[in-house]
C-alpha cells in the first residue's frame, strides 16, 4: 500500500494512468462493492496474512457472482500511480456496499492503518451499506468502534458475516445473499459477460 496522503492530495492534477482509470469508471460505472482490509507487516516477521488472504478469496468469489468490474480490491483494481489516493477515495465514495474485513486485533491496530480508517470514514459519511466480514468467531461487530476517530463507531444494523476456512463456499454464498438482500438494485458495471448476473438470477429467482 502506498504511503498515506492527506485528503488535499485530490486537489492535484491526476497523472495519465489515474485519469485513464477514472475515465473508465465514469464511462461505464464505478465498482459497486468495496473490500476494505489491512495489509503490510506487523514487526519484522508477522503480517496481516489472514486479512489479505480473506480479501483475495472474497474478491475471487464475488467476481464469480457480480463480475470483476463490480468489485474493488485496491491491489487489483487500481494501478500504482501518483493518483492512487484520489482513486481510492472516489471508489469508496461511489460504491454501494462496503465490506470491511475484521481480522485478529483489528480494533487495536487501526492507528497503524490510516488508509483503512480513511476508507471507513468516507463510507460512514456517505451512507454506504456497511457489512463487516468477520474472520474470527470471538470478534463481534458491536465492539468495533474507531477509538479516537471523529466518526461514528463501525456498528451497523446489518449483522457481521463470518468468513472462515471450514466452509468458505457456504460463507461466501451467505455474503452474496446478504449483499443482494440489502442492495437488490445493485448494478453490474459493463462490459460484462453476463455470467454473474445469470447466476444471481438463478439463485434468487422467485
For residue range 127-138, what is the model confidence (pLDDT) as tens digits?
Answer: 899 888 888 665
pLDDT band with cut points at 50, 70 and 90 for residue 72:
very high
By the 8 A CB rule, do 91 and 122 touch? no
By the 8 A CB rule, do 83 and 15 touch? yes
CATH code, domain carrying 118:
3.40.50
- Using the predicted structure, report yes or no on whether residue 14 has a pLDDT greater than 80: yes
Which residue(s) pair with 99 in the sheet? 35
Answer whether residue 26 is part of any domain.
no
SS3 72: strand
pLDDT band with cut points at 50, 70 and 90 for residue 140:
low
What integer pLDDT is reported at residue 92 of this predicted model?
95
Q: Tell me what the mean pLDDT of segment 101-107 comes to.
A: 80
Answer whether residue 135 is part of any domain.
yes
pLDDT band with cut points at 50, 70 and 90 for residue 41:
low
What integer pLDDT is reported at residue 80 of this predicted model?
83
Closest of 201, 172, 169, 198 to residue 184, by C-alpha: 201
CA distance 96 to 178: 13
What total number of domains does the chain contain? 1
Answer whether residue 131 is part of any domain.
yes
By the 8 A CB rule, do 126 and 64 touch? no
For the stretch 141-187, pLDDT in tens is 544 555 445 444 554 545 678 887 678 888 988 999 899 988 988 86
Average per-residue pLDDT for the chain? 76
Residue with cell 447466476: 199
Answer whether residue 21 is part of any domain.
no
CA distance 24 to 6: 25
Answer whether residue 193 is part of any domain.
yes
- If one compares 45 and 40, the residue with the highest pLDDT of the two is 40
Q: Tell me what the mean pLDDT of segment 30-50 comes to.
A: 75
- If one compares 57 and 1, the residue with the highest pLDDT of the two is 57
What integer pLDDT is reported at residue 200 of this predicted model?
55
- Using the predicted structure, report yes or no on whether residue 78 has a pLDDT greater than 80: yes
By the 8 A CB rule, do 92 and 100 touch? no
Per-residue burial over 29-47, b = 16 or more CB atoms within 10 Å of its CB, e = otherwise: bbbbbbbbbbbeeeeeeee
Instruction: Indicate the pTM of the whole model.
Output: 0.80
Which residue(s) pair with 34 in the sheet? 72, 98
- Using the predicted structure, report yes or no on whether residue 196 has a pLDDT greater than 60: no
Which CA distances in Å does 159 have to 14, 47, 76, 131, 143?
Answer: 38, 27, 27, 7, 12
- Using the predicted structure, report yes or no on whether residue 9 has a pLDDT greater than 60: no
Print the domain residue range for 163.
32-38+46-203
- Highest mean pLDDT among 15-24, 47-56, 139-148, 191-200 belongs to 15-24
Amino acid at each position: 500500500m502506498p504511503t498515506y496522503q492527506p485528503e488535499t492530495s485530490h486537489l492535484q492534477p491526476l497523472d495519465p494512468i489515474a485519469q485513464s482509470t477514472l475515465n473508465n469508471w465514469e464511462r461505464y460505472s464505478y465498482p459497486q462493492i468495496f473490500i476494505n482490509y489491512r495489509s503490510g507487516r506487523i514487526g519484522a516477521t508477522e503480517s496481516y496474512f489472514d486479512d489479505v488472504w480473506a480479501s483475495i478469496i472474497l474478491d475471487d468469489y464475488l467476481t464469480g457472482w457480480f463480475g470483476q468490474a463490480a468489485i474493488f480490491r485496491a491491489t487489483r483494481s487500481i494501478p500504482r500511480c501518483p493518483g492512487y489516493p484520489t482513486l481510492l477515495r472516489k471508489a469508496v465514495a461511489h460504491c454501494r456496499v462496503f465490506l470491511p474485513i475484521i481480522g485478529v486485533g483489528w480494533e487495536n491496530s487501526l492507528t497503524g492503518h490510516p488508509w483503512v480508517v480513511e476508507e471507513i470514514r468516507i463510507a460512514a459519511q456517505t451512507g454506504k451499506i456497511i457489512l463487516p466480514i468477520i474472520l474470527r468467531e470471538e470478534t463481534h461487530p458491536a465492539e468495533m468502534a474507531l477509538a479516537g476517530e471523529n466518526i461514528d463507531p463501525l456498528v451497523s444494523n446489518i449483522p457481521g458475516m463470518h468468513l472462515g476456512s471450514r466452509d468458505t463456499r457456504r460463507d461466501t454464498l451467505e455474503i452474496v445473499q446478504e449483499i443482494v438482500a440489502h442492495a437488490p438494485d445493485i448494478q453490474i458495471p459493463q462490459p460484462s459477460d453476463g455470467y454473474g448476473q445469470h447466476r444471481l438470477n438463478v439463485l434468487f429467482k422467485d
